[in-house]
């Protein structure tokens, strides 16, 4: 089967900076953003996370995040990282 064509850019969300405001989650056209328990906070605190293989690189989440937690990076950079490359296989 042919490999899935990847977008030119993908979104990287800094979970340590995320306040869990969910502004990004609301605008994502493919619903690939969800909430998870925050990494450094009390257990009730939620942050957002991106399901990378489903991201289409539309940049909307990056545009709406009030805290600049989401960076758009070239897909090649994700493919050079062992962990994210596995997700995109």
Q: Which residues are near ligand SF4 by CB under 6 A?
A: 11, 13, 18-24, 27-28, 30, 32-33, 48, 50, 55-61, 64-65, 67, 69-70
Closer to ligand SF4 by CB, 20 or 88: give it.
20
Residues 37 and 48: their CA atoms lie apart, in Å, by 8
| Cβ–Cβ under 8 Å, residues 72 and 58 | no
- Cα dihedral 70→74→75→78 (10° resolution): -70
Closer to ligand SF4 by CB, 55 or 78: give it.
55
Cβ 3 to ligand SF4 shortest distance, Å: 19
Cβ 5 to ligand SF4 shortest distance, Å: 15
């Amino acid at each position: 089967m042919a490999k899935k064509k990847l977008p030119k850019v993908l979104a990287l969300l800094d979970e340590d900076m995320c306040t869990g405001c969910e502004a990004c989650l609301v605008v994502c056209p493919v619903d690939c953003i969800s909430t998870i328990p925050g990494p450094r906070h009390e257990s009730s605190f939620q942050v957002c996370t991106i399901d990378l293989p489903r991201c289409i690189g539309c940049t909307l989440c990056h545009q709406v995040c009030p805290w600049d937690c989401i960076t758009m990076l070239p897909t090649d950079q994700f493919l050079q990282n062992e962990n994210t490359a596995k997700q995109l296989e």
